[in-house]
Amino acid sequence: MTMDIAGLGARALGELGQVIEAMDQDGFMLFVDALAGANRLVLHGVGREGLMMRALAMRLYHLGLDAHVLGDMTTPPVGAGDLLVVSAGPGYFSSVEALARTARAAGADLACVTAQPGGPVPKMADHLLVLPAQTMADDQPDGEAELSVLPMGSLYEGAQYIAFELVVLALGAKLEVSPEALRGRHTNLE
């Protein structure tokens, strides 16, 4: 069996572009402002969404922000002025909801990246970044919408990566962080 890899790639890239184009620009900038204004940032996601959140945390650190990945040994407590940033693509994960409630009880704000803003976790959030993409919550044919060429929640996760790189560009400009300063915070232990 032969596959048209170039054609599949073009279709996937087109779908990713559509998600980014459909992203609310004002909501995007409010999300950037929330990250910039937090004392401390703690990021969390499950599965592949969690990998994208880890990638964002790394770049936030490179920008000079006090950013941590939840679950790492060095993750500090959160409180007033801090921001828990979670991913809940399909709008709900029980573990993410529990962590959000704990952070809110400690006085921290909540930011949520999602494809389903009507879900329980996004409804709890103070700040939302909505990426209108297929997730595992809607990856089954229903006769209405065409499914992504990418499997399961991959369209959402790919859109996260692109959106997060745009967040880094916007934050870098807002905080006046030069590319040299960004590079200067990259580990030298690789």
Phi-psi group of 53: left, alpha or beta (phi > 0 → left; psi -120 to 50 → alpha; rest → beta): alpha
37-52 exposure pattern, b = at least 16 Cβ within 10 A, e = fewer: ebebbbbbbbebbbeb
Residue entry with tokens 């990998």: 51
Helix 154-175 to helix 25-37 angle (10° resolution) is: 60
Using CA atoms, how far apart are residues 58 and 95, in angstroms rounded to an integer?
22
Tokens of 151: 């499997």
Verify whether residue 15 is a known catalytic residue: no
113 has which bridge partners? 87, 129
Backbone phi, psi, residue 110, to 5°: -125, 130
Q: What is the CA radius of gyration of the chain?
A: 17
- Choosing from 15, 97, 146, 157, the catalytic residue is 157
Catalytically active residues are 157
